[in-house]
Structure 1
Amino acid sequence: MIAEAVKLIQAGELVAFPTETVYGLGANAFNEEACLKIYQAKGRPSNNPLIVHVASLEQAEELAIFNKEAYLLSKLWPGPLTMVLPRRNSSRLAECVTAGLSTVAIRVPAHRVARDLIIQSGVPIAAPSANKSGYLSPTSHRHVKAGFKSESVFVIDSETTTKYGLESTIIDLSTSVPTILRFGFITPQIIEQIIDRQVEIATKSSAIKAPGMMYTHYAPKTPIRINAISLEEGEIGLNFGGSKLNSKGSLNLSPTGDLAIAAANLFSYLHTLDDYARVNSLQRIAIAPIPNESIGLAINDRLIRATF
């Protein structure tokens, strides 16, 4: 299956593949026409840059200019961290990949299938999450196939599932102050410890320099209600820890209150509840409060964006 996917990437086609975060919708990052197909298939705004996936730090250095902090944080690669860095003029990246910006969002994925695809294709792969723009991110090949029934997308059916279930943390290192553009499993505290300086957090009014910054994002088709203490009529519950949003079909992100487990389950469970709600004519998904700390920052970020 990898061999077929490689041929399609080299031919300028779209391939959906697993990473350790979520499934990505990939194309040859050097091919403008191929990368424009990503925007078209997703219905993605043209001012929303793509993340470029590479196989190594050395390959990343061919595309971006690294500073001291970037080299320090590269110790977290392969892994769920994306860095926004100045783009090298010699990079040959398709213009639409960076949305015309002078920076590039780049990471080295840890998933074996993703790395094999990049290495065997011989090119960096631009890949946002493999979902329709604004909808829930996919954590399995089934989610991707359901979302792209009408599009020409080759989907790699991986037996190895996504590990984290949330998109990568994004840190902007292209300016004087390191800034978190998107929360993820790599928390601000981890980054601050490694680079030995404080980071800022992007605001709603910050310029879009990387994926995940659109304020309306990550939403199921069924409306959600966050910080719910009890269920209202027509709702199905998504619990955390010992919350009591109990109804037929309800789920618990982590009965033990483990934020890492909750984050890994978030999109998968929302997909399941979204399907259940629509089949059973329920009006809303009620979600229990999630502590806004550590990985909970990433969970709440996704949920808040899904309510708009």
Structure 2
Amino acid sequence: MTRRLDATPSGIATAASILRAGGLVAFGTETVYGLGADASQPQAVARIFEAKNRPRFNPLISHFAHAQAAFTQVVPNAMAHRLAQAFWPGPLTLILPRAPACCISDLAADGLSSLAVRVPANAAARALLEQVDRPIAAPSANRSGRISPVDAAHVLEELEGRIDAVLDSGPCMVGVESTVVDLTDPQAPCLLRPGGVTLEELQAICPHIRLPQTNSDVLPHSPGRLISHYAPHLPVRLNALHAQADEALLAFGAPRPTEAPLVWNLSENGNLEEAAARLFTGLRTLDHQARALGLERIAVSPIPQHGLGRAIQDRLNRAAAPRPQDGVEDAAP
């Protein structure tokens, strides 16, 4: 049975003890809930893959209480320091070369010479990381390829009995995963995944940041890069101006007349921050209720392509992508 721990000093201390002993603890960040394990213990990291039924061909993000701790495991450059100063703690992951004395297991790094590191902004998560005092690898706390969890109930729905505990710090405020920036080549910073830090915010610090040429690589540097991802059970139809009678509707903006028998509006007033925070809950709710009603698809209203709209659309594109038979990837906070 999975323990549900309150985000109190006692609950955080218990969660830290479980992690140090090689156990699995899901914990909330400002983005989504992550499934944490001590990144320096290969067997603990292996338990993540087992709990999630997760394929082992992309790296995990390691989480730290502060930038100084993160930078002991990688070789930071000047831009890494500038971005960390601007956005840490916060929803930004940096990909950097591994430090010679790095203690993170090859399994967590997928054998790469680079690492994904971040410092979350959630107070309970940082208190937990401070007490553990070790790198904590943490992809999203859901079955591989499924919708990312934004509260503790979602975690238990997916992983009850498969993990040791969930530290319940309430709903996640951002609701989409961290932005991922590859800084392994300091002359060519690359935005690998849009997320809680927008492209415009990054460009204010790093004007020459570039976008990747492809959506997927054979050995991706970063989690969240494979195409079929964030997938509900029902097929997803994007940029739907009108929903059909056999479709649930994931709407955005002022309500309009619709034939859809089931509607979830991400933000009636068109607020992208609200939409991001409600995205995964909306997909999960529509998927459950639409299947119960015998509906065939989820239609999605157009999403503006600026600010957090890019991150929302990135998740929706992956949810709508053709489904492989196996080998789908999961997200990371």
2:307 is matched with: 294
2:97 is matched with: 86
What are the within-5 Å matches in structure 2 for residues 163-182 of structure 1?
A: 163-175=173-185, 176-182=187-193
What letter is aligned with 1:183?
P
1:231 is matched with: 243
- Between the aligned partners of 1:197 and 1:247, the Cα distance in structure 2 is 44
Judge conservation of contact 1:192–1:198 (CA < 8 Å) in 2: yes
Structure 1 consecutive aligned stretches of length 4 or more whose deviation exceeds 2 Å: 195-202, 204-207, 242-249
CA-CA distance at 1:199 after TM superposition: 2.4
CA-CA distance at 1:21 after TM superposition: 0.2
SS of 1:200 mapped into structure 2: coil
SS of 1:238 mapped into structure 2: strand
What letter is aligned with 2:245?
E
Asked if residue 137 in structure 1 is aligned to residue 148 in structure 2, the reply is yes
CA-CA distance at 1:263 after TM superposition: 1.1
Note the alpha carbon deviations across 1:88-146, whole angstroms, 9 max, x for none: 12111111111000000000000011111111112111001101111110001111101
2:8 is matched with: none
CA-CA distance at 1:237 after TM superposition: 1.0
- Between the aligned partners of 1:283 and 1:299, the Cα distance in structure 2 is 23
1:260 is matched with: 273
Judge conservation of contact 1:118–1:125 (CA < 8 Å) in 2: yes
Q: Which moved more, 1:77-86 or 1:194-203?
A: 194-203
- Between the aligned partners of 1:126 and 1:49, the Cα distance in structure 2 is 9
CA-CA distance at 1:267 after TM superposition: 0.6
Judge conservation of contact 2:191–2:209 (CA < 8 Å) in 1: no
- Between the aligned partners of 2:266 and 2:277, the Cα distance in structure 1 is 8
- Between the aligned partners of 2:164 and 2:211, the Cα distance in structure 1 is 37
- Between the aligned partners of 2:41 and 2:192, the Cα distance in structure 1 is 26
- Between the aligned partners of 2:54 and 2:260, the Cα distance in structure 1 is 35
TM-score norm. by structure 1 comes to 0.96
The structure showing larger relative contact order (alpha-carbon pairs under 8 Å, at least 6 residues apart) is 2
CA-CA distance at 1:253 after TM superposition: 0.6
1:36 is matched with: 46
1:115 is matched with: 126
CA-CA distance at 1:285 after TM superposition: 1.1
Asked if residue 148 in structure 1 is aligned to residue 164 in structure 2, the reply is no
Q: Which moved more, 1:271-280 or 1:33-42?
A: 271-280
- Pick the aligned partner of 1:3 from 3, 13, 38: 13
Q: Flag the 1:124–1:246 CA change in 2: closer, same or farther, 3 A.
A: farther
Q: Which runs of 5+ in 1 are unaligned?
A: none
Note the alpha carbon deviations across 1:188-220, whole angstroms, 9 max, x for none: 221121124232335224440111001111111
CA-CA distance at 1:150 after TM superposition: 4.2
- Pick the aligned partner of 2:117 from 83, 96, 106: 106
Q: Flag the 1:269–1:303 CA change in 2: closer, same or farther, 3 A.
A: same
What letter is aligned with 1:225?
R
Judge conservation of contact 1:103–1:174 (CA < 8 Å) in 2: yes
What letter is aligned with 2:173?
K
- Between the aligned partners of 1:210 and 1:123, the Cα distance in structure 2 is 21
CA-CA distance at 1:252 after TM superposition: 0.8
Asked if residue 59 in structure 1 is aligned to residue 69 in structure 2, the reply is yes
CA-CA distance at 1:243 after TM superposition: 5.2
RMSD: 1.4
Asked if residue 215 in structure 1 is aligned to residue 227 in structure 2, the reply is yes
Q: Flag the 1:205–1:213 CA change in 2: closer, same or farther, 3 A.
A: closer
Q: Which runs of 5+ in 2 are unaligned?
A: 1-10, 322-333
Q: Flag the 1:246–1:123 CA change in 2: closer, same or farther, 3 A.
A: farther
Question: How many equivalent residue pairs?
Answer: 307
Q: Which moved more, 1:110-119 or 1:199-208?
A: 199-208
- Between the aligned partners of 2:206 and 2:20, the Cα distance in structure 1 is 37
- Between the aligned partners of 2:305 and 2:90, the Cα distance in structure 1 is 23
2:7 is matched with: none
- Between the aligned partners of 1:26 and 1:57, the Cα distance in structure 2 is 18
Identical aligned residues as a percent: 43
CA-CA distance at 1:247 after TM superposition: 3.8
TM-score norm. by structure 2 comes to 0.89
CA-CA distance at 1:248 after TM superposition: 4.0
